[in-house]
Amino acid sequence: MRPSLLFIIAIVIAFSCIEIFSAKAEGGSLRKNGKEVYEARMADWRNRQVVYQVFVDRFVPGSNPKSRQSLYEPPRRLVEWNSQPKKGTFLQEAGVWQHEVDFWGGDLKGLTEKLDYIQSLGANVLYLNPIFLAYTNHKYDATDYFKIDPQYGTEEDFRNLCEQAHKRGMHIVLDGVFNHTGKRMIWFQEAIKNPNSPYRSFFVFDKNIKNGYLGWLDLENHPELNYNNPSVKDIIYRSPNSVVQHYLKQADGWRLDVAFDLGPEVLSELTTAAHKVKPDSYTVGEIYNYPAGWSPALDGVMNMYMSYLMVGLTKGKISGSKAADMIDILVQDGGIEPLLKSWIVLSNHDRPRLKSLFPEIKDRAFIQALQATLPGAPLVYYGEEIGLEGVEDPEQRGPMNWEVASSGKVPEMALTRSLLSIRNSNRALQVGDFARIPTEKLFAFLRYTSSVRETVLVVANPTSEPVTEIIPVRDPWLMDVSPMKDLLGGKSVEVSAGIVTVTVEPKTVQIFIPEIVEGPNYNRYKRVE
């Protein structure tokens, strides 16, 4: 017997009512997570990162430079700290460029002495460019993964750095260059000298390949490791005595160089091995691809997609509404959790410094404000907080100017500290979810948790003219006729029927939070969390 049409209609209506009631009970479609979700995110340091990147050779000069001369045998040379890096000639015999073997003499001891300075900026994670024994100054051509380069110091210096950082509640992330080594790598040299060496199969030799072996980008100085050989996996990450596991006894994570070349299988195995030895360890990959889909092979990525999007927005090449759409789709495709653990990189040792990219500080303030408020971890490349300049390698790897840094009298430093303080003081900006705000010309989004008290509305004007727009706040618990204040000192706005009217000056960002007055008088927020 078939059910009557009226019975079917009644069932449909009943289920619809249940869905409507459930939506109301949960606070609408925006808030689907309970407070325990955000508490768990906050408990995981990998979600709350503010990263400070250091190129050790250029950060703090080592003591007694004359006694260190023996560490820089020709054609390597130790130069004056206040000199600036310049493009050099190619040294045929050494197989490297002169600027790759010019050194400034920075070391781990000097870096350790500057931890308080780094922390004072608002950073809680220190990412070090490679520190292992290598021929060049950048050290992306390792000769022995198991040795700290004596130019930087000793194992004891490294342990002390980690201990001092941990005492301050900071974490250390090392640069793992595991796709390739240097041609002076001890394994590679033995493989060349002895065709029967077990290290021969650590690499791919073929007389038909340029240089006679497989190299990263066909470069002579970067022979690639052969991950088809299980022994390579063992020594890099699978064995308890492997490189990855050995250094996690002191450090907290790995930034994996050219991670896209390692591929998802190797990355997944490496991340699993790291988590096995240290459950809250962190792996972040250098990924220039679309970032969604790299988790759980990696905990996070260097989110170059977000970076390029922000640069395009700041330069007026991407509209505000388009940028909001692109980020919204990214969240849908990859989920918010991996994004929270990913680094937002505006500049680094491979990319132009911000002041060279954006000479006007207003543009830099604009893009840095977005970096501090979008989902992900802001990465500050050393010297950005004092306005160092440089466009191409090696110019953007200049020495830190401690005279300027110590004075504190530069607008970049005040800007950096202010924005990172806002991020570190607002839980929604650290671990909150993301919701795009529909706009015409502006770029706007919401960061939110289970509590309306933590809601942050970000509105940015990427255009060259002032813009006034009426936009929805999208948060059902933002009460009618209640104010929201701008943490960057702009005018407050008033929520009216879930809508605000904002006026934003060109290349300006406004960061709004609800003004909630707790007290004996009438409080519009008294019955919402």
| Tens of pLDDT, residues 430-458 | 999 999 999 999 999 999 999 999 999 99
Do 408 and 482 lie in one domain? The reply is no
Render pLDDT for 372-413 as a digit per residue (tens, 0 to 9).
999 999 999 999 999 999 999 999 999 999 999 999 889 999
Is residue 335 helix, strand or coil? coil
Parallel, antiparallel, or unpaired: how do β-strands 51-54 and 96-97 relate? unpaired
* Residue 478 located in a structural domain: yes
Question: What per-residue confidence (pLDDT) applies to 426?
Answer: 98
Do 354 and 488 lie in one domain? The reply is no
Taking residues 272-301, what's their average pLDDT?
97
Render pLDDT for 331-370 as a digit per residue (tens, 0 to 9).
999 999 999 999 999 999 999 999 999 999 999 999 999 9
Question: What per-residue confidence (pLDDT) applies to 67?
Answer: 75
Q: Is the predicted pLDDT of residue 17 greater than 80, yes or no? A: no
Question: What per-residue confidence (pLDDT) applies to 529?
Answer: 83
* Residue 391 located in a structural domain: yes
Render pLDDT for 36-69 as a digit per residue (tens, 0 to 9).
999 999 999 999 999 999 999 999 998 776 678 8
Q: To the nearest whole percent, how much of the chain has pLDDT over 90?
A: 89
Render pLDDT for 396-405 as a digit per residue (tens, 0 to 9).
999 999 999 9
Comparing 258 with 14, which gets the higher pLDDT? 258
Is residue 470 helix, strand or coil? strand
Choose one of 198, 224, 250: the last residue of a domain: 224
* Residue 129 located in a structural domain: yes
Q: Is the predicted pLDDT of residue 101 greater than 60, yes or no? A: yes
CA proximity to 348, closest of 138, 510, 143: 138
Question: What per-residue confidence (pLDDT) applies to 239?
Answer: 98
Peptide bond into 411 cis (omega under 30): no
Annotated catalytic residue within 252, 257, 395, 454: 257
Is residue 199 helix, strand or coil? helix
Taken in order 318, 324, 329, 331, is the CA torsion positive or negative? positive
Render pLDDT for 233-253 as a digit per residue (tens, 0 to 9).
999 999 999 999 999 999 999
Q: Domain containing 409 — which CATH number?
A: 3.20.20.80
* Residue 375 located in a structural domain: yes
Do 256 and 369 lie in one domain? The reply is yes
Render pLDDT for 469-513 as a digit per residue (tens, 0 to 9).
999 999 999 999 999 999 999 999 999 999 999 999 999 999 999
Catalytic residue check, 286: yes
Annotated catalytic residue within 175, 286, 337, 469: 286
Tally of structural domains, the chain: 3
Confidence of residue 19 (pLDDT cuts 50, 70, 90): very low
Mean pLDDT score across all residues of the chain: 93
Do 384 and 275 lie in one domain? The reply is yes
Q: Which domain holds residue 189?
A: 180-224
Question: What per-residue confidence (pLDDT) applies to 5?
Answer: 46
* Residue 307 located in a structural domain: yes
Do 118 and 171 lie in one domain? The reply is yes
Question: What per-residue confidence (pLDDT) applies to 523?
Answer: 82
Do 153 and 287 lie in one domain? The reply is yes
Comparing 18 with 371, which gets the higher pLDDT? 371
Do 399 and 488 lie in one domain? The reply is no
Do 317 and 363 lie in one domain? The reply is yes
Catalytic residue check, 328: no
Choose one of 224, 258, 283: the last residue of a domain: 224
Do 172 and 273 lie in one domain? The reply is yes
Do 363 and 339 lie in one domain? The reply is yes
* Residue 379 located in a structural domain: yes
Amino acid at 357: L
Q: How far apart are CA 143 and CA 141, in angstroms?
A: 7
Choose one of 398, 430, 462: the last residue of a domain: 430
Do 463 and 448 lie in one domain? The reply is yes
Render pLDDT for 210-225 as a digit per residue (tens, 0 to 9).
999 999 999 999 999 9
* Residue 405 located in a structural domain: yes
Comparing 289 with 21, which gets the higher pLDDT? 289
Question: What per-residue confidence (pLDDT) applies to 4?
Answer: 55
Do 193 and 151 lie in one domain? The reply is no
Find where tokens 């927005």 sit. 313
Extended beta strands in 153-242, E state:
171-176
Find where tokens 């003591």 sit. 63
Under 8 Å between Cβ of 371 and 336: no
Question: What per-residue confidence (pLDDT) applies to 62?
Answer: 87
CA proximity to 27, closest of 483, 528, 431, 471: 528
Q: To the nearest whole percent, how much of the chain has pLDDT over 70?
A: 94
* Residue 4 located in a structural domain: no
Q: Domain containing 503 — which CATH number?
A: 2.60.40.1180
Angle formed at CA 201 by CA 198 and CA 204, multiple of 5 degrees: 150
Q: Is the predicted pLDDT of residue 29 greater than 70, yes or no? A: no
